[in-house]
A and B are shown apart, each in its own frame.
Chain A
Amino acid sequence: MSLVEIKDLKVHYPIRSGFLNRVTDKVKAVDGINLNIEAGETYGLVGESGSGKSTTGKSVVGLEKITSGSIKYKGVDITNVSARRNVNYNQSVQMIFQDSLSSLNPRKRVLDIIAEPLRNFQHLSTEEEKIRVLQLLEIVGLSPESLYKYPHQFSGGQRQRIGIARAVATNPELIIADEPVSALDLSVQAQVLNFMKKIQREFGISYLFISHDLGVVRHMCQNIAIMNKGRLVEVGTREDIYDNPLHIYTKRLLAAIPEVDVSKRQERQQQRKQIEKMYNEQADQYYDEEGLAYPLVQVSPTHFVALPKEQIIDQLK
C-alpha cells in the first residue's frame, strides 16, 4: 500500500454569470489525476503555471475543496474530515511554501512561528517547547539567537529554512513542497535542497515536490509526473521521463531548459526548433477535442503516457 493514493482527483471551479448569477461553466483546474506516493520517496509533480500542480498539492493538504475523487492516506480516505482526524492527518502532513516572506507572519518571532504547529498538536511546557524549537533550528542549521528574531531579519535562504523547520516540527510523514526553491539563488537553492534530502534520510519523510524546474526535479525525484491543463500527460521514473520522453509536451518542456554546457549551444537550438515545429504541426494529435490530454496508457512497467492506443504503438516502433 502506498503512503498516499490519489484516485481520479477533480477540482473544478464554477464560473457564475448572468442575471441570476447561475453557474454557467467551470474551470477544470484538476481534472482526473491518479498518483501514488510511496513512503520515504520524493515524488516530482511538474508543470507550467496554470497546469493545476499547486491545486493538486493544496487538495492533498486539505486546503482545497475537491469536486470528486479520493485521496487515501495509509488506506484512509482523508477527504472525509472525521476520518482525517483518526489518522492524525493534519499533524503528519505539512507544507513548505514557495514564498518564504509571505508564508511567515511578520509580527511573530521565530520561536512562535516554529512552535505554532507544536502548540496545536503537542502539549508541551514552555521549557520543553523551547528545547524542541532549538533542536529544530539546529536541524536546519540556524543559530540559537534566531529564536527571538523576526522573519525580516533573515535572508531568503534562511527564511526558507525556517519554513522547513516549521514543517518538520510535528515529525510529519509527508511534506508537500510547493516550489520550495524557485525564489532562491543558485547557491542558496543548493543549501535548501541538501537540507531537504538530509532530513529525508534522517526521518524517512516523503515529499510531494511541486516544481516547474526540471533540473531541480531531476536532482530530487525518482518518480515524476508531468501535468498539463489539469491532467497528467506523462508519468514515469526519472530515466523514463528524461531519457525517453514520449509525449510532445514533455519533449517540448525538456527542450526548453537552458543548459550550462556552451559547446552544445547550436545543437540545442536546432533541437528546440525541431521540437517546436513538431509541436505546432502535431499538437492536436496529442490532445482530445476539448484540447485536454488523453487518459494515461501504460507503455512499460513504470512508464505511462497520455496518448490514444494506436499512436503509442506507432511511437514505439
Chain B
Amino acid sequence: MEDGQELLELNDISTSFKIDGQYYDAISHINLTVKRDGILAIVGESGCGKSTLATTIMGLHDTDTTRISGQALFDGQDLLKLDDKSMNDIRGAKIGMIFQDPLSALNPLKRIADQISEGLDYHTTMTSDEKHARVMELLSQVGIVNPERTARQFPHELSGGMRQRVIIAIAIACKPDIIIADEPTTALDVTIQAQILDVLRGIQAENHAGIILITHDLGVVAETADEVAVMYAGEVVERGTTEQVFNNPQHPYTRSLLRSVPQGNQDVTHDDLYVIEGSVPSIERMPQTGDRFAPRIPWIPAEAHEENPSMHEVAPGHQVRCTCYQQFYFKSLEETNK
C-alpha cells in the first residue's frame, strides 16, 4: 500500500433524474480521483449535486428513474457497470458510508453491537467471539469510553455525538479502502464536531483509507481536507489542494463563497455580508450550454465566458472551469447596495 495511490477514479460521470417523463442532469461530467491516505472534500451548497455524486458511486439509485453515464474505476472494475450482487460485496466491505443524520441511519430496535456486526455477518466468516472482539475494538477506535456498555445499548440511549461515532464504527467495520462521509457533522454541536473530525482523521491514519468528505461548511474543509472540489449546479467548478483553493481561489463562485463567510471584524449594525446575486436555478431550468454561474455575475461581459466551459489548469493540480475567472472582479459595495 503506497501513499497517494489512486483508489477511485471518476471519469465523466453524469447522473440524471426523470421528472415528468424527461431526464434532467443532477450532476454533469464529474472527473475526480480519490487517493489512498487522502481526504477529498466535496463542497457546495444544497442542491449542487454533492450527495447525488455519493449515492451514484455507491449505486443507490433506482435505475428505472435515473440515468447514469461515465465510469467509476475502483480496483480495476467499473462500479457503475456492476450487477447488484457484486455491488453488495463492495458496499460496506470496500466502500463504507457515513450518513448525515445518525438517528435515522440507525435501526431503533436493534442493539448497537448487532448493528455494527451486521456488516461483519455479511462480508466475513468470523465466529461470534471474533465479531464481539471486533465490535469492542471498533467502538474504542471511534473514542467510545465504555464499549461493553455502549454495545448493549439502543440508539435512543445515546447522545448525538455518540450515535455518529457508532455510524463511523459501522462504516469502518470491514476496513474499507474508501469512506464516503456525507455531511458527517452537520447535525452536531461544534465541540462534538471537532471530536468527530478528529476521529475521522485518526481512522484515516490507522486504516490508510481514502476519504470523500461531503460538506457545505468551508471551515470544516479548511481544517480537514487535503484536496477540495467545489461544486456548483451539478458541476465541479474548481479543484485543487486545500491550500491552492483557499489561499488562491480562482473561480468566481469560490471567491464569492469565501467572501460571504462572516469574518467578525465587521461593525455589528452597519457592515453587510457579501451576497451572491440571484439563486441557483432548479434542476429543470438548468441551462445546458454555457457557464452555469454566469447569470449570477451579470456584470461580467458575456465574451468572458466560454461557450462550452472546460477545466483550465492554473497551477499543477489546480483547475478552474470556464475562462471567466481571468476577467472576474467584485462589484464595489456601493454598486451592490443599489
B55 interfacial contact with A, CB 8 Å: no
Question: Contact between B269 and A200 (Cβ–Cβ < 8 Å)?
Answer: yes
A191 to B197, CA, bound (A): 29
| CB–CB B216/A258 < 8 A | no
Considering the chains assembled together, what is the distance between the CA atoms of A256 and B261 in angstroms?
17
Interface 1/0 per residue, A185-202 and B, CB below 8 Å = 111111101100110110
Residues of chain A within 8 A of B219, CB atoms compared: 215, 257-260
Within 8 A of A (CB), among B181-203: 189-191, 193-194, 197
Q: Spot the interface stretch: A19-27, A130-138, A218-226.
A: A218-226
- Chain A residues closer than 8 Å to B276, beta-carbon distance: 187, 190
Q: If the complex has contacts A49-B160, A187-B276, A242-B264, are A259 and B222 also in contact, measured as CB distance less than 8 A? A: yes
Residues of A within 8 Å of B46, CB to CB, are 156, 185
Q: Please tell me if the beta carbons of B266 and A219 are within 8 angstroms of each other in the complex.
A: yes
Q: Is the CB of B261 within 8 A of A260?
A: yes
Tell whether, in the assembled complex, residue A187 and residue B223 are in contact, meaning their CB atoms are under 8 Å apart.
no
* Residue A261 CB within 8 A of the other chain: yes
CB of A215 within 8 A of CB of B273, answer no
Partner of B274, one of A190, A255, A265: A190
A197 touches B220 (CB 8 A): no
What string of 1s and 0s marks CB contacts (under 8 Å) between B256-271 and chain A?
1110111110101110
| Complex contact A197–B222 (CB within 8 A) | no
Q: How far is the CA of A156 from the CA of B216 in the complex (A)?
A: 15
Question: A262 and B190: CB pair below 8 A?
Answer: no
Q: Which residues of B contact A257 (CB under 8 A)?
A: 190, 219
Chain B residue with Cβ nearest A155 = B279
List CB contacts (< 8 Å) of A257-283 with chain B: 257-263, 265, 268-269, 272
How close is A50's CB to chain B, nearest CB, in angstroms?
9
Whether the Cβ atoms of B160 and A258 lie closer than 8 Å is no
Considering the complex, which residues of chain A in the window 86-145 have a beta carbon less than 8 Å from any beta carbon of chain B? none
Query: Is A58 at the interface (CB under 8 A from chain B)?
Result: no
Asked if A186 and B45 make an inter-chain contact with CB atoms under 8 angstroms apart, the answer reads yes
Partner of A216, one of B189, B247, B262: B262
Interface membership of A64, Cβ < 8 A: no
A10 interface residue, CB < 8 Å from B?
A: no
CA A180 – CA B272 in complex, angstroms? 17
Which of A189, A197, A259, A268 interacts with B272 by CB under 8 Å? A197
Q: Is the CB of B223 within 8 A of A215?
A: no
Write the nearest CB–CB distance from A157 to chain B, whole angstroms.
Answer: 7
Q: Is the CB of B269 within 8 A of A263?
A: no
Contact at B223–A259, with CB atoms within 8 Å?
A: yes
Q: Decide: A215 near B262, CB < 8 A? Known: A252-B191, A258-B217.
A: yes
B242 within 8 A of A: yes
How far apart are B10's CB and chain A's nearest CB, in angstroms? 24
Contacts of A255 on B, CB cut-off 8 Å?
A: 194
Give chain B residues whose Cβ lies under 8 Å from the Cβ of A186: 45, 216, 218, 257, 260-261
Q: Are A256 and B269 in contact (CB under 8 A)?
A: no
Contacting pair A258 B264 (CB below 8 A): no
Could you say which of A49, A155, A188, A260 contacts B189, with CB atoms under 8 Å apart?
A49
A42 contacts the other chain (CB 8 A): yes
Say yes or no for A48: interface residue by CB 8 A criterion. yes
A219 touches B222 (CB 8 A): no
Docked complex Cα distance between A258 and B217 (Å) = 9
Interface string of A65-76 (1 = CB under 8 A from B): 000000000000
Indicate if A159 sits at the interface (CB-CB under 8 A).
no
Give per-residue flags for B272-292: 1 if the beta carbon is below 8 A from chain A beta carbons, else 0.
111110010000000000000
Find chain B residues with CB under 8 A from A231 CB.
none
Taking A197-B269, A216-B262 as contacts, is the C-beta distance between A261 and B193 under 8 angstroms?
no
A48-B190, A187-B257, A238-B268 given; name 10 further pairs at CB < 8 Å.
A48-B189, A187-B260, A190-B274, A191-B275, A197-B272, A257-B219, A258-B193, A260-B258, A262-B242, A268-B223
A residues adjacent to B (C-beta < 8 A): 42, 48-49, 155-157, 185-191, 193-194, 197-198, 200-201, 212, 214-216, 218-222, 238, 242, 252-253, 255-263, 265, 268-269, 272
B interface residues with partner A (beta carbon < 8 Å) = 45-46, 160, 189-191, 193-194, 197, 216-220, 222-224, 242-243, 246-247, 256-258, 260-264, 266, 268-270, 272-276, 279
Jot down 5 A-B pairs with beta carbons below 8 A, ordered by A.
A185-B216, A215-B261, A216-B262, A219-B262, A257-B190
